[in-house]
Structure 1
Amino acid sequence: MRWLLLGLLLPLPVLAQPRIVAENPHGYGWWLGDELVQHIRIDLSDGVSLDPASLPRPRRVDYWLDLRGISARETRDGIELTLSWQNFYSAMEPKRQEVPSSPIRLSNGAEAVLPGFSFVTSPIRPLTAPSSPDQLLPDPEFRLIDPYPHRAGLVGAVFMFVASFAALAWHQAWWPFHARPARPFTRAARRLRRLADPAMQRRLLHRALDAAFGKVMIGEDLSQFLADRPEFASMADRLADFFHGSDAAFFGVGPVVEGDVAALARDLSRIERGQR
């Protein structure tokens, strides 16, 4: 117990304070808007560093004073700080202003203070000096911006968009290009959607095959048609079934097998438009 009380009575070790040397701006000759630069050197012991979070942040310190920026540079003996202050005090007569100090913290738990400084700020012009319009700076020269190149570019972009959309509509046989003779399967597929009679559907698809073949096409012409239009080769079996069904329906050759004529026309239309 005696040793415990003796330990409590012993003074706590005092953390070593760093050596701080400040190079402050000169103390006079400053005006409204001037920037004052302060250099501070901090000598640190081995293994001790400055806690960056304890440095003052650039901010508005007072209504007449801003801390514009702070930078740090490590040296062999410690660290060097550069603080930029800006004076916004509009003096009516020479007056001394005080820049406050700032506490900082070291990695070993010790605390130190970045010293402040004072300076004398003066009015830019005598308070009672007369004012006249000729003391104002002239208006800066300005140049009108010609909007024509931008308008021409906009018109060109709109024209290119319309032309591209028209080309896409033509290629895909959208309205108003859906009725051109070069796409008979596309035209037939659109008309088939409004027909419910199987016989009428077959006649309409036959007319489309005739237009695509260039003459009346029968079942025996299928191989010639596929040789002339190889893009439809994948539809050979379905076209053969279609012609067999038509022969059975129109000429009574074999049993009538009804297929999906509308689906066949849609698939032929996709190939015709380059989508398959």
Structure 2
Amino acid sequence: MKHEPRPGGDARLSGSGLTLAYDKRTITRDLDVVVPDGSFTVIVGPNACGKSTLLRALARILRPSAGSVVLDGEPIAGWPAKKLARTLGLLPQSSIAPEGISVADLVARGRYPHQGLLRQWSKEDERVVGESMAATGVEALADRSVDELSGGQRQRVWIAMALAQQTPLLLLDEPTTYLDIAHQIEILDLCARLHEEGRTVVAVLHDLNHAARYATHMIAMRDGRIVAEGEPAEVVTADLVETVFGLPCRVIDCPETGTPLVVPAARTRTPALS
């Protein structure tokens, strides 16, 4: 299914004045964020800076203490659950599958938002589930129990379920967790294809070079604040990397893609004792 961006690139998803907290611990305060429609937006920043917290708020998993998230011009808090699940898909950072469920059955749950009294399981649902498993390389695991899988295999199954929702907006919290380098690139290439087909993709990534390579729009966070945003070439500079991550580095052009490539400064070696 091809999803057409809105005319003029207007943002479908945004947040204003967001104060986000867990119990009494405030993570962000009065935060404004706009996800450009049709973008591949990547949120980066050091651990515990608020990246995943912001993504949870955009997906209506976390209710803001103040401010609001708006989707298609309406506060997301008022959206009916099934309508929201047909519009916005989420891959959380950690997911728990029902005990004993098979891979195929878990991926099929991504079709639930499309079911109803007058629309039961169909050949179209079967096709979408098969394509989602093929796209993430888990079709050979269809009959296996999710409990039996490795961390990387489970991660790809959860991504397949998110794909099966066929939502125009897809939010991914660290989608490359548990994956080796080859599977990381496969998943990010898949995300890039989904973006090229018209989906708006938002991902939290730890690897700054991956973020710079794939993003069309980057948001850099530190201490619950957005400190920079824009195209990767505008955001990923040596000064910003040192400010946000505390890492002295050089930023060069990637020889493969021309995107920014962060090269950490060499460690200063101490003289050997004689």
Bucket of the pairwise TM-score, normalised by the shorter protein: under 0.3
Structure ranking higher on relative contact order (CA contacts 8 Å, 6+ apart):
2
The higher radius of gyration belongs to 1
Greater fraction strand: 2
